[in-house]
């Protein structure tokens, strides 16, 4: 069970989907995989991820509209609002331009479409600026909505939820699974990682160039980490504040001076299954130690990569450090952050015995 299994929204969604047994998140994932497996089998198999996306969207009666420039909103207004009388398209730009609540995509059920229209659902994907890097993932995120919350009989209004909303996290989870569809991803992963004990950036790059040309490096690396049978911690580091400072900053009266940019912290930390089983992880929002490769890369040019042998005990907070364990860390500067994988290169050390055993009884 993950903490999302306890969110009422996720439990409700699992309930709507039906079936029984298993934790809610796994049940929802299973439902999505099973629908896609059925369509793939009807079609006699698929050759690659693009063919899978076409097959799935066709079955779901959905089409994509990509926003590459601001003018694309005028085009959507013309095509959908004026010509097809779907007025929601005339006002959606403000949602996508709202910096306070980043929106990457939206799924619209066309009110004037017929039950068999191939474009009954329109997924609008924002590909402007830095959002372009997420294009592949956003498309699968909207497919995930159509498979679940926007399934026939589900929500009909486009949802603009915050990225921390459990439903949005669930859609990302589904996108991470079905967008890197096992029957296509697994052979590519096996081939790319042949003969290697540890995950490397090179493995993710080979998979992208061979099989997932439109996936981002970040999403592909994460998909690889998830499949590793050995412990891998995927992390993203960027400038952030301590929790209590963040709270103060939310109340302007308590924070008169210019707010500081914060320190480099591990803002996103995702241990894979093997890492969770061993308790091998880094606490979220921990400060990145200054003398590490992640810290060096943060000050480097975008797309710079680096690797180093380090020790988990370098990570410390309030005078306490993480347990000693030799690790290899590989990282890359991507946009405003460093993304990295941390993997142990030695076995978990046995816990030191607490206190000394007296040799002689006194």
Task: Report yes or no: 266 and 281 within 8 Å, Cβ to Cβ.
Answer: no
CB of 24 or CB of 105, closer to Zn ion: 105
CB of 167 or CB of 286, closer to Zn ion: 167
3-state DSSP assignment of residue 10: helix
Structure tokens at 105: 């995509």
CA pair distance 32, 169, nearest whole angstrom: 15
Closest distance to Zn ion from the beta carbon of 150 (Å): 10
Closest distance to Zn ion from the beta carbon of 249 (Å): 27
CB of 126 or CB of 168, closer to Zn ion: 168
Residue 254 CB neighbour total at 10 angstroms: 9
CB of 144 or CB of 286, closer to Zn ion: 144
Residues in the chain: 362
3-state DSSP assignment of residue 237: strand
DSSP 333: E
356 backbone dihedrals φ, ψ, rounded to 5°: -90, 145
Closest distance to Zn ion from the beta carbon of 106 (Å): 8
**Ramachandran quadrant class, 103 (left: phi over 0; alpha: psi -120 to 50; beta: rest):** beta
Structure tokens at 195: 């003969």
Task: Report yes or no: 334 and 302 within 8 Å, Cβ to Cβ.
Answer: yes
Q: Which residues bind Zn ion (CB under 5 A)?
A: 168, 171
Closest distance to Zn ion from the beta carbon of 99 (Å): 18
CB of 107 or CB of 221, closer to Zn ion: 107
Closest distance to Zn ion from the beta carbon of 32 (Å): 14
CB of 132 or CB of 328, closer to Zn ion: 132
Closest distance to Zn ion from the beta carbon of 174 (Å): 10
């Amino acid at each position: 069970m993950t903490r999302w299994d306890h969110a009422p929204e996720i439990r409700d969604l699992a309930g709507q989907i039906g079936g029984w047994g298993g934790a809610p998140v796994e049940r929802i994932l299973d439902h999505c995989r099973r629908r896609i497996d059925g369509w793939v089998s009807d079609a006699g198999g698929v050759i690659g991820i693009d063919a899978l996306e076409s097959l799935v969207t066709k079955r779901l009666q959905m089409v994509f509209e990509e926003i590459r420039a601001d003018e694309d909103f005028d085009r959507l207004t013309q095509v959908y609002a004026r010509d097809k009388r779907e007025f929601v398209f005339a006002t959606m730009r403000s949602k996508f331009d709202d910096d306070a609540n980043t929106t990457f995509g939206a799924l619209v059920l066309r009110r004037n479409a017929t039950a068999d229209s191939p474009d009954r659902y329109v997924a609008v994907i924002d590909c402007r600026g830095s959002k372009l890097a997420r294009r592949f993932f956003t498309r699968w995120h909207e497919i995930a909505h159509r498979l679940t919350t926007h399934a026939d009989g589900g929500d009909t209004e486009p949802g603009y939820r915050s990225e921390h909303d459990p439903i949005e996290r669930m859609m990302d989870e589904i996108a991470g699974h079905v967008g890197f569809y096992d029957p296509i991803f697994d052979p590519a992963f096996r081939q790319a990682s042949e003969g290697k004990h540890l995950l490397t950036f090179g493995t993710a790059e080979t998979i992208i160039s061979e099989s997932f040309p439109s996936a981002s490096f970040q999403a592909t690396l994460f998909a690889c980490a998830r499949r590793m049978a050995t412990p891998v911690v995927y992390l993203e580091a960027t400038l952030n504040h301590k929790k209590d400072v963040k709270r103060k900053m939310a109340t302007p009266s308590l924070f008169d001076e210019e707010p500081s940019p914060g320190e480099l912290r591990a803002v996103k930390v995702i241990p894979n299954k093997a890492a969770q089983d061993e308790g091998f992880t880094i606490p979220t929002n921990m400060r990145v130690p200054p003398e590490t490769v992640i810290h060096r890369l943060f000050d480097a040019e975008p797309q710079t990569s680096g690797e180093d042998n380090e020790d988990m005990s370098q990570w410390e907070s309030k005078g306490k450090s993480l347990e000693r364990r030799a690790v290899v860390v590989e990282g890359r500067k991507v946009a405003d952050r460093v993304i990295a994988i941390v993997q142990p290169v030695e076995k978990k050390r046995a816990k030191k015995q607490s206190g000394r055993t007296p040799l002689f009884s006194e």
